Chain A
């Protein structure tokens, strides 16, 4: 297990360094002069020089790279061109909101997807299955920019149960979490169903039944335990995406997360902030996927013991 853990962490570290390098090069990949892109053609030469120095673009590339990585080591991601605030502070202010929304949406998705997928698999071909999969199809088809406003219209404006937007009021998390969670739940439910269906056809499920176990125990203890792997894989991928900022939903609900920070920064061409956001999103992806790999080890003793 320790061996497995170290191997996974080591390869995660490699990916992180690679990602940081790509993010560093981002600014140099912009066609033309990045300063032109940020300030526009009409800017005064003095301003250009000031920005160039502030961004360190006047240094040699090797020097810039060194500064960049030593900055990273100190969690120094540079400062916003506009507000002059350190990027790390801007990010730190937004991360809790993103984290809260991602987790709430995931919980919401799991609460819907697992019972739905289970039911569909166990009652395969019956009305339950058909109903659950129809719901899933609808959930997959509805875009968040439509679902969000509709939920606001119904629950906030008509019924007045929830706040319209923002994060301050109590209960403000509910609608964004549902908006994000619905699509997520739809994919997850399908995965739970197909994975469970496959496992239900396995020989050891027949063994469990031949033992005289009742159906709930056969499904939950024997089948579901083996069905988790693909579900966890998908969960990891989706959770990574959510933590990276659910851009559309954050904008619809005016949710102060990393996603909306990124959009603002892109609109203002605030490169240090864009770089910081991209780096954060990538790190979260790597982290979540590493955790997913570690979860495999917990779920499956064969992986844990390095066999298979």
Chain B
């Protein structure tokens, strides 16, 4: 094998105080070859991004590399002067980031931002710069580059912005492109576009890609080799196909087991107990020890050395023996969930033709010139004890539906009946009383709790508002709730910032449960969490549903969560539901072309899985100005003349699956 393009040896990066540093990267070895895609996999806080920033020498002010070599194409980057390093940055080594929304300068035109990189690394001047900028925009698939180059970032969609970021990185014709969670902030259909673009560009230019991600599906589909990081170290490297046949490190195995999918519906998801250890300490044993279910005596006494098992695979574990990838949970009867026999009685919640339109004001007199039709006629039913998943991409109106049901937003039209009671007509005290029956859990647990209130007060606040019980009774109930969500009683006397992300979401669940609701609207409750923590919250929600006969409206974009948790699913596009039905039927035999495309775009954590991504062109149109006819027709591969003219009526397929598409209304 030829010399690698990038070779990192014993990289040690520290943050903060020099006497008591946080060792964010602690002895990392890595080699990336020309033209390959190398994935760095791990959960948040494990040191992936810090590794990348160390390579670019762009660490935050409190960070420094204290040890190691980063050899890139024959030069050691750590020995270069700052001026020499600037030639490398954005030149031979480009980088794109997670948040395309905030990674472009809002006050500079797209074209100017790319031109800057072109001038710097291509040494072009004058009209040739413009020409090269347009070439780059074209190469990343941005239509009408001349017009786009003159626009500002806010005029572009998220996917387009990430394309611009890629164009900017390509300006220096990099040999290595570092992509730090490049699609995490994007919708899955847009993610498919961007990943595909990266693949094409790589094939044409022969550059290597270091892909930083937490998503096993993306790794399986795009990478050649990978490394799993845990607590500042690499715990396993492998080529992708070997890894997916059988990961060696217990941590890697856990990552697989905690992924939700439809096959695990009747069981609890595996969780990783405990937390990532503090990286301030010096380790005398294995870093994963506290959380490992297979650890032995040696693991606490001996720091595990790197073992190269064969040419393809290496692992940092004292018990690296081959183990088949079976979930422990499967064999343990204790963890099976008894699924409630769910009978479809009268619906608890019934939503009919719900509409939420926001007026658009314009001009000196703030005249209403149009409406954003965020929700434009939605019908939903949730029976008692059931989970209805509402899926769709960002901007489709799913969160607005949730808020309108709770009457946190005033619906423009339509009805929402809860136990037969019309919610849209409730006012004042009657509405406040009803609120006890319907609670909500938000995506970001930190920002949905008052940081200056004690956890106990946060949980008790709803009970006080609803005048439920006396003070001592409320205090007793707070303790009981904390136990119910798997926290200790002493949590009541602490503040939200003292907890981890997963624990905070448990507190939010406890807060919702405090007023004994019958329906909980879960708005992306696990999107901000790592997979192993997500598994804990999903397990908790499932248990609580079983115990308390709760109904959930589960708003999400994550299809595998839907397949694990939901009974029914409704797919939303541009303010309307295009398809709904039982989870099995919709996910296994989607009828609407949008559902088909959405499902096909989800990366599957199996490198042998051959899927044909139905590639959607462009972005979702604006709900202020939806296309005529079927809203999906401009992006639909199967659109016909009829689709352009009228919105399709709902057609009933077998087993209660309903779809709004002209392809399924033939003969009606």
Contact = CB atoms under 8 A, between A and B. Distances in A.
Given A7-B364, A210-B56, A301 B90 contact: no
Contact of A202 (B89, B102, B121, B165): B102
A8 B331 CA distance: 70
A214 B89 CA distance: 11
A203 B107 contact: no
Interface string B342-365: 000000000000000000001110
Interface string B83-99: 10011111100110101
B154 interface: yes
Interface residues of B, number: 35
A203 B116 contact: no
A7 B83 CA distance: 48
A308 B107 CA distance: 13
A207 B90 CA distance: 9
A268 interface: no
A209 B58 contact: yes
Contacts of A52: none
Contact of A207 (B61, B103, B152, B362): B103
Chain A CB within 10 Å, residue with most, of B121, B168, B363, B364: B364
A213 interface: yes
Given A207-B168, A211-B117, A307-B154, A300 B107 contact: yes
Contacts of A211: 89-90, 116-117, 120, 168
A299 B89 CA distance: 29
B172 A212 contact: yes
B107 A225 contact: yes
A295 interface: no
A261 B111 CA distance: 54
Interface string A161-190: 000000000000000000000000000000
Nearest to A210: B95
B186 to A, nearest CB: 15
A33 interface: no
Interface string B38-76: 000000000000000000101001000000000000000
B106 A212 contact: no
A28 interface: no
B154 A301 contact: yes
Given A206-B58, A301-B106, A307-B154, A212 B86 contact: yes
A11 to B, nearest CB: 9
Interface string A220-263: 01100110000000000000000000000000000000000000
B154 A3 contact: no
B104 interface: yes
Contacts of A225: 105, 107-108
A3 B363 contact: yes
A204 B117 CA distance: 14
A10 to B, nearest CB: 5
B120 A208 contact: no
A6 interface: yes
Contacts of A226: 105-107
Interface of A: 3, 6-7, 10, 124, 202-204, 206-214, 221-222, 225-226, 299-302, 305-308
11 contacts: A3-B362, A203-B99, A207-B104, A207-B105, A208-B116, A211-B90, A212-B89, A222-B105, A225-B107, A225-B108, A305-B155
Given A207-B103, A213-B116, A226-B107, 10 more contacts: A204-B106, A206-B58, A211-B117, A212-B86, A212-B117, A212-B120, A222-B105, A225-B108, A226-B105, A300-B106
Question: Closest 10 A-B residue pairs measured CB to CB?
Answer: A212-B90, A211-B90, A212-B89, A203-B102, A204-B105, A301-B152, A203-B103, A212-B86, A210-B95, A211-B117
Interface of B: 56, 58, 61, 83, 86-91, 94-95, 97, 99, 102-108, 116-117, 120-121, 152, 154-155, 165, 168-169, 172, 362-364
